[in-house]
Amino acid sequence: MTDQTVSTSAQLTGNVLFYQKPEPLSPELHGALGVNPVDRPWGFLASTHVVPLTVTEFAPAALSYPVIFVGEQKQPVAVMGLRQGDNLFVDASGDIRPEAYLPAFARRYPFVYANDEAQNRLILCVDRGADFVRENAAIPFFEDGKPSAYTQQALDFCNSFEQERARTDAFVKLLNDLDLFEVKEAMFTPRLPDGSTGEPQRIAEYTAVSEDKLKGLSPEKLVELRDNGALGQIYAHLVSLLGWERLISMTFQRQAQQPVAANA
């Protein structure tokens, strides 16, 4: 069940990446609020090197990032950097690379659903801490006490996102049930000044689909995965893993652009 306005006494649970001060959206609390257009609306992505994905995003995201699975729940994420808090696709001024795929998880910001366990429902919230949420803004949240077209569009987007999130949970469960996951390592072999290669270095350990386990499935199961669309998503994930080399190259480029501190 979903709702877009609640009393301030609703007991919400959970916390979400990026969101500083999520509040249940209501005309009483936010009737005078809205958002102002900003030049760099995705600058907040600079604070993280991974962003959650839904399964239907695997193919477009694979053109930009490695798509891996993390944590006990095996949450799919786009890897946007090699170090925590360092997003290689967002520069110091907050600009995101124009060719980079923008995950729906980020595109719904500053809105998000939260759980109201007491009422067994999802509630639309807004991040009151977002820089571009302001009073008397150009784009209001409410008009005449009712959700504006902008808010209704956000509600529709969040509804769609929740549907995709449920589809993603089912996809991950399917891979788990088939025992297709394995732990992999992303490796980097440095080239030394004399042209030789140094010792391989591990840059990441992550969970991914095992190609050997996938090949070991019965023909009937592979046909089933093909017909339900899962096989295409699996292949998109596997192809995306070629993106580790790109992240390594981008890391070196960023390091080369950073000023060298003067000796004391």
Concatenating the DSSP letter of every residue in 8-64 gives TT--EE---TT-SSEEE--HHHHTTEEE---S-TTGGGGG-SEEE--GGGHHHHHTT
Q: How high is the pLDDT of residue 198?
A: 67
Q: How high is the pLDDT of residue 63?
A: 96
pTM: 0.85
Q: How high is the pLDDT of residue 3?
A: 43
For residues 165 and 115, what is the distance between their CA atoms, to the nearest angstrom?
14
**Per-residue pLDDT tens digits for 150-173:** 999 999 999 999 999 999 999 999
**Per-residue buried b or exposed e for 202-235, using 16+ beta carbons within 10 Å of the residue's own CB:** eeeebbbbbeeebeebeeeeeeebeeeebbebbb
Task: Give φ, ψ of 104 to 5 degrees.
Answer: -60, -30
Q: How high is the pLDDT of residue 8?
A: 31
212 has a pLDDT exceeding 50 = yes
| Phi-psi label, residue 68: left if phi above 0, alpha if psi -120 to 50, beta otherwise | beta
10 has a pLDDT exceeding 70 = no
52 has a pLDDT exceeding 70 = yes
For residues 228 and 11, what is the distance between their CA atoms, to the nearest angstrom?
38
5 has a pLDDT exceeding 60 = no
**Per-residue pLDDT tens digits for 17-33:** 888 899 999 999 999 99
**Which structure tokens are listed for 102?**
């923008």
Least confident range of 1-15, 55-69, 125-139:
1-15
In the predicted model, what is the mean pLDDT of residues 226-246? 96
DSSP 6: -
**Per-residue pLDDT tens digits for 60-114:** 999 999 999 999 999 999 999 998 889 999 998 889 999 999 999 999 999 999 8
